[in-house]
Chains A and B, each alone.
Chain A
Amino acid sequence: MQPDRVHRSVYADPAIFELEMERIFGRAWLILGHESQIAAPGDYFTTRMGREPVIVARQGDGSVGVLINRCMHRGATVCAQGRGHAGSFVCPYHGWTYDTDGRLRSVPVPSGYASDKTGELGLRRAPRVSTYRGFIFACLAASGASLEEFLGPAKSSLDDLVDRAPGGELEVAGGVFKHVYHGNWKLMLENHLDGIHPAHVHASSIAVSRGAPEPGAPGEENYRDIAIRQMRQNGMPEPVWEAIGLWTTARGHGYMGDYHDDSRLVAAMGNPVFQEYRARLAARQGEAEADRILGVTLWNSILYPNCSFMSQFRQLRIVQPLAVDRTAVYAYSLRMKDAPQQMFRDTVAFANVVNGTASWVLTDDLEVYERVQRGLSSGAAEWVYIARGAGRDIDERDGVLRGATGTSEVYLRAQFRAWLDYMNES
């Protein structure tokens, strides 16, 4: 790795991937989901923390536990469901039975062991679990930065996401979109802050959106309008992209200023539903605070190394690396508590066309990730260039670097700076 370039092996070498799972996914705080997914004690869902299969379960005392999904006897996973409600987890191999807090409740024929094993052989747990504004995070390292330290300035992105709910809370709603692409996990996190790519990658959807029916006037919008507006917006002229803010933090997080204004995206202030939404927000927060909240205009935010989200349409995507050239992505839609129902419909309309499994926007991103992965398996050229805007990054203190323009590759340099810190940490 050099200041302006990265060796192709960081995307293509399986040995480096294994080291990343240990040193990055084994050390960073990882977002696992949202508290609304496990409302009642015994509710659980399963996911992965790097290579570790885990069960995220609501405990009897109301806290969240993260258990390693691996029987302490012979190693089988004890839970095969994606989500559900359980009083215990029973290994299918020899019937070892665990409480939802991981304690070993019973083994068959306990007299077969010289001493009672139930006290010592509980499921392993992620040593640190914490939540921020309803989002569940866990860390496989017993010590290190706290969640709040880890998030640092990126907390403001999560605050922006949650503050917009008139009821002060979000919930995961309506189901999850899941897809896999044949490319390295880093490619998606990089792409979401890339202001140059839309005009090229999304050229086809930009072109057709310009010929699509015009969005309706305020109060007369069609379901499809948000999708059409978003695709058109991807085709903005370069000076608009150049003017967008682009911030990164010392741990590789990053956020992009908005490239919409409300009139372009949702016809917001003239829209009766949006007015009702704003009134409910103001009733709870006060007029000034409501204005402040709605005045924060961020587009994509990245929590390195496993999350991307956007607050205006309340989409959250979690990245799960499967192999050096295979990555799963789970996309969630979030509903704002006490907001008019139509606001969630806007979330859905956006999700379906932009992040959905048959999206005509996402598909071309995935196509490009796969082409990059294929290209980087070639040894004819060794380097990937990350130098756009280099030398002009603006230091905003506390580790925050801002790109000199919205098309700077400051996010690549910041993500790789964090990558190197994790990989070199002893």
Chain B
Amino acid sequence: MKTQHAVEQFLYRQAELLDSKQWQAWIDLFAADGIYWMPPEPSHKTWEGMPAIFAEDRNLMDVRMKRVLHPDAWSQRPLWETNHVVSNVIVEKELRNGDVEVRSRFHMMELRRDDVRHFAGSYRHHLKKTRDGYRIKLQRVDMTNAQAAYDYVLQVWV
């Protein structure tokens, strides 16, 4: 129960950081070698060597964050608003060292100027236990609409 609670709090906090645009704090939830990955097809087993909607280490996350905040990021003026709801949290595996694998589901509403979009899908987090709490080794994001044509594109992490 303790793990379940700690993991849920971690996921809620991660979503809250996205929705409040605290992107540096969001990036800091990743381990030094952590990866954020969104495959274009559910069948993909690895991010390496395969096309991916997102496949980013912390260096690329940093570039993405800075671009979004750049005054000439035309598509981001004004910045988009998002609202995440994370639920159905299942701890699938807990190792002796405290690392866990977690499955969850999300719903995200996004506001781009006057246009509202809705996205949903599942997260799979590989979390490493550290003295400062969990850090993300791998976050896999499967969008339910991954294979449909996106109406416009994605910009900030989902």
Interface residues of A (CB under 8 A from B): 82, 174-182, 201, 203-205, 207-209, 211-213, 222-224, 227-228, 328, 330, 333, 341, 344-345, 348, 351-353, 356-360, 362-364, 366-368, 371
Q: Rank and list the top 5 A-B pairs by shortest CB-CB distance, nearest first.
A: A204-B70, A367-B75, A178-B149, A203-B72, A204-B73
Asked if A205 and B67 make an inter-chain contact with CB atoms under 8 angstroms apart, the answer reads yes
Asked if B153 and A363 make an inter-chain contact with CB atoms under 8 angstroms apart, the answer reads yes
Alpha-carbon separation in the docked complex, A207 to B153 (Å): 21
User: Residues of A contacting B154 with CB < 8 Å?
Assistant: 357-358
Asked if B153 and A362 make an inter-chain contact with CB atoms under 8 angstroms apart, the answer reads yes
Question: Does B89 lie at the interface of the complex (its beta carbon under 8 Å from any beta carbon of A)?
Answer: no
Asked if A201 and B74 make an inter-chain contact with CB atoms under 8 angstroms apart, the answer reads yes
User: Residues of A contacting B39 with CB < 8 Å?
Assistant: 175
For the complex, count residues of B whose C-beta is within 8 A of A. 38
User: Residues of A contacting B54 with CB < 8 Å?
Assistant: 352, 356, 358
Alpha-carbon separation in the docked complex, A228 to B62 (Å): 12
Asked if A364 and B75 make an inter-chain contact with CB atoms under 8 angstroms apart, the answer reads yes
Alpha-carbon separation in the docked complex, A234 to B17 (Å): 32
Q: Given A182-B152, A360-B68, A367-B75, list of 18 further CB < 8 A pairs? A: A175-B39, A175-B41, A175-B50, A175-B51, A178-B148, A204-B72, A204-B74, A204-B76, A222-B59, A223-B55, A224-B63, A341-B49, A348-B49, A356-B53, A358-B153, A360-B73, A364-B73, A367-B74
* Pick from A177, A180, A223, A345: contact of B40, CB under 8 Å: A177
Asked if B48 and A357 make an inter-chain contact with CB atoms under 8 angstroms apart, the answer reads no
The distance from the CB of A336 to the nearest CB of chain B, in whole angstroms, is 14
> For residues 116 through 154 of chain B, which have their beta carbon under 8 Å from a beta carbon of chain A?
147-154
* Pick from A208, A330, A333, A358: contact of B38, CB under 8 Å: A358
Asked if A180 and B50 make an inter-chain contact with CB atoms under 8 angstroms apart, the answer reads no
Alpha-carbon separation in the docked complex, A359 to B154 (Å): 8
